[in-house]
Structure 1
């Protein structure tokens, strides 16, 4: 276990004097040490043996540790911890790293609370640069969380550390013994459900980290492991209000489908644009991306990992098995969480077509019947007044404004959208009415939001020409029962073309709220952002 130096201090590899313990994690102990050869302070991570492993497994783990730590040592980036050396003593690996004078990001949040959006954007952009360098070298971190980010005193430099469960492309995972590695609150849903891990999984973790930095708590924190798994894999993702200025980035990183998730370059560009201008640009559409019904944004179904119109039974089985195993001890029925609640029929509680089914692409819960507004209604006139964020009022992401609508609610709408009242329905429309964001407030109906939307879906072909691929899903909004209706239709004219609609319905304060967004199929990604923001910021007043 190393030689004994002066005053009983351990010296390893005849060079590194271990002087004080800085911390302990799941895989080892980190020491403050002195490199006696170069006369400098360093940090040394001692990887402790796992008594649960067989001799063969322990040897494989040891070999992987050395191999992959040496790969990480090749990384060179100002926001990645510098690995100076990898040594072993008495068959135990030690990783010698630069010593950062400062605590972790988790310590900073615990002591001083959440950070402001500009500081969060700076930290996020720096870490994204670090991830780009790591991923380009074929190294995945796999455990990004505030505790694994150090903040240097004085400079405030954020440094990504603890690549202890990192994975090098083409290699097995460093701690892989058939058990899960990582921090569930920050782990991407594809890893939770047993799918292949790639760079996009690290980006999901960074999105969760940004939420924590801005609000003080991960959006997936729950009281049990089963609750965390449900939040990550199944439940609606509710970003904290403090994330509003950076919402396009946060939403883009917390996209459950890794193929649609923002990549590191896009996210970093957007955050640096916010730092330069105070405004976060919208997430770009994927180059060459041509949406089809199968590729449209996912609806919140019993298994939200399944995009509309696409069946993925293998993943669904894996998710179900994972949740069943995790929740069995907590007395939670995974069947109740995962069962399909779509379909149904009934009579719509309001008359037929009047409003144009609005299409959006949300990642939200609950939705309400989407009637249809004629594209040739009155000329838009602006009414709802812009209100600054105040107590009880939502904040507006960059590129949006808060409207205090006379109908009794406030929410954020994109700048440039104008208010067009249509009887009981109020629309906020983009120039040329390409995007239509609708709201309707009525009295609660028998059977609640789910019954309302199922009844409307039965009449979908009557109210929306060419209605197809409709699905109603039971969900929640802020813990309240809700329903989400998603469908494609042909629009009101050949010139308008096919459109896609997302509609959320829920009850709150003795009223039934219905919010929807409609847009051309090819603009579904952008519409989804509008829908997400509208539902996330909606507040009855």
Structure 2
């Protein structure tokens, strides 16, 4: 039974008007008469199919989770002021935000730009990482639980998150959440995990950028059947956000994108870049190409130098311009051919080089003698 307007909760919080409703509760705009400020009050309504023992257990868990959430200081985590148990059910008192839910924004504006969706996702992922570090799982990430202000994206509804993950709930055959946003492993009966929250985040961002849900099915089982059919998920409007969504929406949680890499990829897309990972340092192809180009340029320069002398100097003596002798006691290769023998490279055949030079000089001397004899 829903509380009426004007109801005074815990002799302190006056319920004024509902600002949001869901399958498991109502969010009220209320006034804290003790501190004279407006707050939001989440009225939790437990399923009627639960017996009294299970209801009491879930109420206790909700109180513990609400208090744990209050210890998380993060700008994208809704601030919890108080947890009250009244009328045999928990009530969550939170900060009141002047914002619209992501679900309402999608309904009014249609598909959102990938960069805008990436920024919203980056902030909500920061909230999930903060609560996961405290051992808290949200278990109900969806567009209606994301509030967007002028400068913030805030994850809400942590009170309902405490109602899932218990063994007795699985035995009762109840899976709490919304069809299309429940991770596949949860539909199959597995325990909730941080990876399940990441899948729900991926489904939320998919809805925001594409303007529609993953499959449009009304039940979680029908959604799971559509996802496991083997058909690729269509992402015609995701653009640079597609690699992130594809990695977050993997069926197997072991191969799903982790929160650290997802945060980095979302930040890149939000900044106008690509989500893909850059090449690791030290493995840039430019270095190897530079080395190969240097080797090829050295060979070509040696051949060019040999041809530039008109074939007078043997190729065995042509040295590349980059060669230099030892720093101590060595000589450098001459840039122009001289009458004296050039300094041979280390390891060259010195005798062969001298013999070839001598052959060239003797042939030149014989030609001069022949010319002189003809003149005579």
Task: Look up the match of 2:41.
Answer: 44
Q: In structure 1, what is the Cα distance between the partners aligned to 2:160 and 2:279?
A: 32
Matched, 1:238 2:233: yes
Instruction: Encode CA deviations 1:24-83: one digit per residue, 9 max, x unaligned.
Output: 212212110011111111000112243322222221222222122222222221111111
Q: In structure 2, what is the Cα distance between the partners aligned to 1:99 and 1:247?
A: 34
Instruction: Encode CA deviations 1:4-40: one digit per residue, 9 max, x unaligned.
Output: 9xxx821111111111111221221211001111111
Instruction: Encode CA deviations 1:296-354: one digit per residue, 9 max, x unaligned.
Output: xxxxxxxxxxxxxxxxxxxxxxxxxxxxxxxxxxxxxxxxxxxxxxxxxxxxxxxxxxx
Q: Larger C-alpha radius of gyration, 1 or 2?
A: 2
Q: In structure 2, what is the Cα distance between the partners aligned to 1:108 and 1:173?
A: 36
Instruction: Encode CA deviations 1:185-225: one digit per residue, 9 max, x unaligned.
Output: 01111112222321111111111111111110122323665
Q: In structure 1, what is the Cα distance between the partners aligned to 2:245 and 2:153?
A: 19
Q: In structure 2, what is the Cα distance between the partners aligned to 1:231 and 1:13?
A: 46
Number of matched pairs: 279
Instruction: Encode CA deviations 1:69-107: one digit per residue, 9 max, x unaligned.
Output: 222222221111111100122333211001111221001
Q: In structure 1, what is the Cα distance between the partners aligned to 2:173 and 2:13?
A: 34
Q: In structure 2, what is the Cα distance between the partners aligned to 1:121 and 1:206?
A: 11
How far the C-alpha of 1:122 sits from its partner, in A, is 0.4
Q: In structure 2, what is the Cα distance between the partners aligned to 1:81 and 1:179?
A: 26
Q: Contact 2:178–2:220 (CA<8 Å) still a contact in 1?
A: no
Q: In structure 2, what is the Cα distance between the partners aligned to 1:173 and 1:111?
A: 40
Alignment of 1:264-303 (within 5 A): 264-282=259-277
Task: Look up the match of 2:198.
Answer: 203
How far the C-alpha of 1:230 sits from its partner, in A, is 0.7
- Could you say which structure has the higher strand fraction? 1
Could you state the TM-score of these two structures normalised by the residue count of structure 2? 0.68
Task: Look up the match of 2:186.
Answer: 191
Alignment of 1:369-384 (within 5 A): none
How far the C-alpha of 1:165 sits from its partner, in A, is 3.4
Q: 1:260 aligns with which of 239, 245, 255?
A: 255
- In structure 2, the CA distance between the partners of 1:249 and 1:183, relative to structure 1 (3 Å rule), is same
Task: Look up the match of 2:21.
Answer: 24
Q: Contact 1:141–1:167 (CA<8 Å) still a contact in 2?
A: yes
Q: In structure 1, what is the Cα distance between the partners aligned to 2:94 and 2:35?
A: 13
- In structure 2, the CA distance between the partners of 1:144 and 1:12, relative to structure 1 (3 Å rule), is same
How far the C-alpha of 1:127 sits from its partner, in A, is 0.8
Matched, 1:165 2:169: no
Cα RMSD after superposing both structures: 2.7
- Could you say which structure has the higher helix fraction? 2
How far the C-alpha of 1:244 sits from its partner, in A, is 2.3
How far the C-alpha of 1:284 sits from its partner, in A, is 9.7
Q: Contact 1:61–1:175 (CA<8 Å) still a contact in 2?
A: no
- In structure 2, the CA distance between the partners of 1:284 and 1:41, relative to structure 1 (3 Å rule), is farther
Q: Contact 1:109–1:213 (CA<8 Å) still a contact in 2?
A: yes
Q: Contact 2:114–2:269 (CA<8 Å) still a contact in 1?
A: no
- In structure 2, the CA distance between the partners of 1:257 and 1:22, relative to structure 1 (3 Å rule), is same
Matched, 1:113 2:107: no
Secondary structure of residue in 1 paired with 2:267: helix
- In structure 2, the CA distance between the partners of 1:23 and 1:223, relative to structure 1 (3 Å rule), is closer
Q: 1:150 aligns with which of 136, 147, 163?
A: 147
Q: Contact 2:187–2:221 (CA<8 Å) still a contact in 1?
A: no
List gaps (5 residues or longer) in structure 2. Answer: 281-376
Q: In structure 2, what is the Cα distance between the partners aligned to 1:220 and 1:193?
A: 18
Q: In structure 2, what is the Cα distance between the partners aligned to 1:68 and 1:168?
A: 9
Q: In structure 2, what is the Cα distance between the partners aligned to 1:197 and 1:12?
A: 32
Secondary structure of residue in 1 paired with 2:39: strand
Task: Look up the match of 1:83.
Answer: 80
Task: Look up the match of 2:365.
Answer: none
Q: Contact 1:64–1:174 (CA<8 Å) still a contact in 2?
A: no
How far the C-alpha of 1:150 sits from its partner, in A, is 0.8
Matched, 1:125 2:122: yes
How far the C-alpha of 1:161 sits from its partner, in A, is 0.6
Instruction: Encode CA deviations 1:398-443: one digit per residue, 9 max, x unaligned.
Output: xxxxxxxxxxxxxxxxxxxxxxxxxxxxxxxxxxxxxxxxxxxxxx
Secondary structure of residue in 2 paired with 1:140: coil
- In structure 2, the CA distance between the partners of 1:269 and 1:191, relative to structure 1 (3 Å rule), is same
- In structure 2, the CA distance between the partners of 1:110 and 1:156, relative to structure 1 (3 Å rule), is farther
- In structure 2, the CA distance between the partners of 1:230 and 1:68, relative to structure 1 (3 Å rule), is same
Q: In structure 2, what is the Cα distance between the partners aligned to 1:101 and 1:283?
A: 39
Task: Look up the match of 1:139.
Answer: 136
